[in-house]
Amino acid sequence: MKRATKDFYADLTRDYSTKIRQLVPRYDEMVECILELLELCSPRTVLDIGAGIGNVSALVLCRIPGSRVTAVEPSDEMIAEARRLNDCSGDRIEFVHKDILDFVPDGGFDAIFSNLVVHNIPLDERRPLLGRLCEWLEPGGCFVWSDLICHADERVQAHFVEYRKAFALAAGCPSELVQQNFEKEARADRPLTIEQMLEEGRRAGFGQATPVWTHDTFAILWLRR
Ligand SMILES: C[S@@+](CC[C@H](N)C(=O)[O-])C[C@H]1O[C@@H](n2cnc3c(N)ncnc32)[C@H](O)[C@@H]1O
């Protein structure tokens, strides 16, 4: 992960739960959709890529009895918070303090999910990573890919960016953070269109790739090995 991106997420850690809901208008709806898709798989082993403060991992452990989560997160600040939040989960959660690009699993997973992370990964490294994710899944396993997206039509893209900026400010997000977030999206992030995500999923070897949910500049795909 690039230094500037790492610094951005380090700063986002404090009051993360408030900030993420200001920057992502339907964050709770996204998380609920991820949980429902994971429940369909009844996974015993789950990989959370870019777990952040570990809030979604914690919900997975609550919602899916008997599941175990491997939470991969490179940010020092985020993973410290994730450890605190999941203090009571014992050996049901394993933390891996690494970039997902450097991660090598011990065994396969029944399900993998990633929320708001993959758009940070450079395109030339993303394609091989998606191939590895498919290989890490047990046959029939699912990958829930929830992410920032972009729209092919520039007017649609500009409309939703303006909508999200107005939403963030109205929700009380400091203007400095709004500026930093949208500068990062414009300068460093590499979101794909839903069609490109589906194509990348198929190319990586997933047999089934379905868009399940979308709103403004976010989408959730369901991919099965
Ligand atoms: C917007 S936060 C999302 C956190 C959490 N997944 C959630 O649902 O709220 C993005 C997270 O992705 C992590 N991240 C960014 N690049 C990554 C990479 N290459 N490998 C693993 N995690 C990464 C960041 O450190 C940050 O914690």
- Tens of pLDDT, residue by residue over 140-191, are 999 999 999 999 999 999 999 999 999 999 999 999 999 999 999 999 999 9
**How confident is the chain (225 residues) per 10-residue block, as mean pLDDT?**
93 97 98 98 97 98 97 98 97 98 98 98 97 97 98 98 98 98 97 98 95 98 97
Which CATH number does the domain housing residue 140 bear? 3.40.50.150
Indicate yes or no: pTM above 0.85: yes
Ligand 1 within 6 A of CB of 101: yes
Average model confidence (pLDDT) across the chain = 97
Token pair, residue 20, equals: 């993420």
Can you list the alpha helix ranges (DSSP code H) found in 188-216?
Answer: 194-204
Q: Which pLDDT score, from 0 to 100, does residue 206 have?
A: 97
> What's the CA-to-centroid distance between 119 and ligand 1, angstroms?
10
* Total Cβ atoms within 10 A of residue 208: 11
Q: How many domains does the chain have?
A: 1
Find the domain containing 192 and state its range. 3-224
Per DSSP, 107 falls in state S
Ligand 1 within 6 A of CB of 148: no
